[in-house]
Structure 1
Amino acid sequence: MTTPRHPPFPAGTLEHTCKIVAELYSGSELTRILAEIPLRTDPGEGHTKWRRLAHAVSTNQAHTQTGNALIALITASMRPERTLDRADAARQTRDQLNQALSLVALQVRDDGRVGRTSQARTTDEAQARTEHLRGLLQHRGAHPEVLAYCRPELLRKDYYEAVFEAIKGLGSRLRQLTGVDGDGYGLVEATMAGSSPRLRINPLGTRTQRDEQLGLANLAKGLFSAFRNPAAHEPRIEWSLSEQDALDVLGTLSVIHRRLDVATVTAS
């Protein structure tokens, strides 16, 4: 099968993308990534990291008259198995890459592959949407863990990305609190459900307290099932979210985070 030929990238997009990727890895790690692609014009580890990447990619682009080298660099850099030991930093990197690539109608998916998306709106429009949503959430008393996902790069088209990332953020917090590995519905089941949950929002001494624990666990599982899991497996074009729906989902997340603020963790 012939590899699709991506048009060459503008110099600004190429340089910005290389700077973002370079921040995620050490020089020796970038050497391995460049060799894996392969890009054979790497000037070596004695040079600035992002300039090494930009030189190798731009040389290939000039030779082939395609943007395939930059696509390959992003894909190799953002593969889940490569970013596993720096998952939080990789999520920030993906957000930054999507902001840069949105100008050329591309995005980095969770699996590290680069796919098409709608052309970005202007930065001013994204910033205005961010400030508006943040203002509404602050008026509602939203939790800081939720407000962190009101960023322009996540709100360039609609509210889908902000909600998607905020729900993933709940999974990250559950892992940090408990040390339990996992994701989504299964992670909530392993940390908050059952007769002796690892993460307890109250002493569980009465029927009411046990019902509260179960209800919060079911609420978290419902969010993962209704939004996180379908969105992770369906094409982006099939998912969109209104401001009102986003406010409702993010408000529910705030309730869960506030209960986690006072939760206790028991021994496994």
Structure 2
Amino acid sequence: MTGQKFPAFPAGILEHVCKLIAELYSGSELTRIMSEIPLRDDPGEGNTKWRRLAYAVSSNQARTQSGNAVIALVSASMRPERTLDRADVARLTRDQLNQVLSLVGYRVRDDGRVGRAARARSTDEAEKRTEHLRGLLERRGAHREVLTYCRPDLLRKDYYEAVFEAIKGLGSRLRQLTGVDGDGYALVEGTMAGSTPRLRINALQTRTQRDEQLGVANLAKGLFSAFRNPAAHEPRIEWTLSEQDALDVLGTLSMIHRRLDVATVEAH
């Protein structure tokens, strides 16, 4: 907790954060997390988990007159390597933390670190951010595989997180359908491209069918190239996406998933 000094968090935000993290871990796991930060005013494992966390964090906050203990607790609790064995529950916890933290202008990134976010002016606004794009997609008939990844990652105004997660979801589905171990552009090339693709969206008997196969494969490769690969090489903050662009990209993903619904897998 050295370096930048964060403003103290309101008591309600602090308690809510502690309740969410306490649900994710056992008492002994929380002991290890608190020792890493460190939080020295630990009343011990005999206390209710969230009250124990809240006491230690609020004591630190009162002593230091900063919110660094809250930031450190969230970061230590949401590190990917720590949540690996409970990834699905941790994603939900991160979404819930983002709703709470949006009220004070923060968010939890997918690497577990806490970053700045546009501040929500009310609880309703925080919730609407997580629901608005999903509602628009549902009205447009978005595929269920796309909606699965449109959770409250939508906290960010540029909607990049939702698109990024949904494109990762396409890669996951291609691996599940084919058993091919790969990612991104190369995964599409190895499963949907070529004269005898492993994953076929039609019978490939006519020129039109072959062109459709090639076109859908190229769309998928283009999405991976445009939205997946750059994130590995450049700071995420440099990438922005409007709501309309997000709708268009996610609509394209929906179309690809609908083609995969009727696809056949050829043995190689």
State the TM bucket, normalised to the shorter chain: 0.7 to 0.9
Distance 1:63 1:205, change over 3 A: farther
Distance 1:240 1:59, change over 3 A: same
Other structure's SS at 1:218 match = helix
Distance 1:104 1:263, change over 3 A: same
How far residue 143 of structure 1 moved from its aligned partner, in angstroms, is 0.8
Whether the 8 Å contact between 1:198 and 1:265 is mirrored in structure 2 is: yes
Aligned to 2:97: 97
Residue 62 of structure 1 aligns to which amino acid in structure 2?
A: A
Other structure's SS at 1:107 match = strand
How far residue 50 of structure 1 moved from its aligned partner, in angstroms, is 2.5
Distance in 2 between the 1:234 and 1:111 partners?
15
Distance in 2 between the 1:90 and 1:111 partners?
12
Deviates more, 1:107-116 or 1:38-47: 38-47
Aligned to 2:171: 171
How far residue 30 of structure 1 moved from its aligned partner, in angstroms, is 2.5
Aligned to 1:228: 228
Aligned to 1:244: 244
Residue 49 of structure 2 aligns to which amino acid in structure 1?
A: K
Whether the 8 Å contact between 1:99 and 1:153 is mirrored in structure 2 is: no
Aligned to 1:146: 146
Superposition RMSD on alpha carbons, in Å?
3.4
Aligned to 2:111: 111
Distance in 2 between the 1:32 and 1:267 partners?
48
Whether the 8 Å contact between 1:125 and 1:156 is mirrored in structure 2 is: no
Normalised TM-score (structure 1)? 0.80
Percent pairwise identity? 82
Point out 4+ residue stretches in structure 1 off by more than 6 angstroms.
Answer: none
Residue 42 of structure 2 aligns to which amino acid in structure 1?
A: D
Distance 1:129 1:96, change over 3 A: closer
How far residue 252 of structure 1 moved from its aligned partner, in angstroms, is 0.4
Structure 2 gap segments, 5+ residues each: none
Whether the 8 Å contact between 1:189 and 1:217 is mirrored in structure 2 is: yes
Normalised TM-score (structure 2)? 0.80
Aligned to 1:255: 255
How far residue 249 of structure 1 moved from its aligned partner, in angstroms, is 0.6
Residue 138 of structure 1 aligns to which amino acid in structure 2?
A: E
Distance in 1 between the 2:44 and 2:94 partners?
25
Other structure's SS at 1:80 match = coil
How far residue 205 of structure 1 moved from its aligned partner, in angstroms, is 6.4
Residue 75 of structure 2 aligns to which amino acid in structure 1?
A: T
Whether the 8 Å contact between 2:102 and 2:126 is mirrored in structure 1 is: no
Structure 1 gap segments, 5+ residues each: none
Please give the per-residue CA displacement for 1:164-216, whole angstroms capped at 9, x wherever unaligned. 33223333434444565654334444554566655443456666655544433
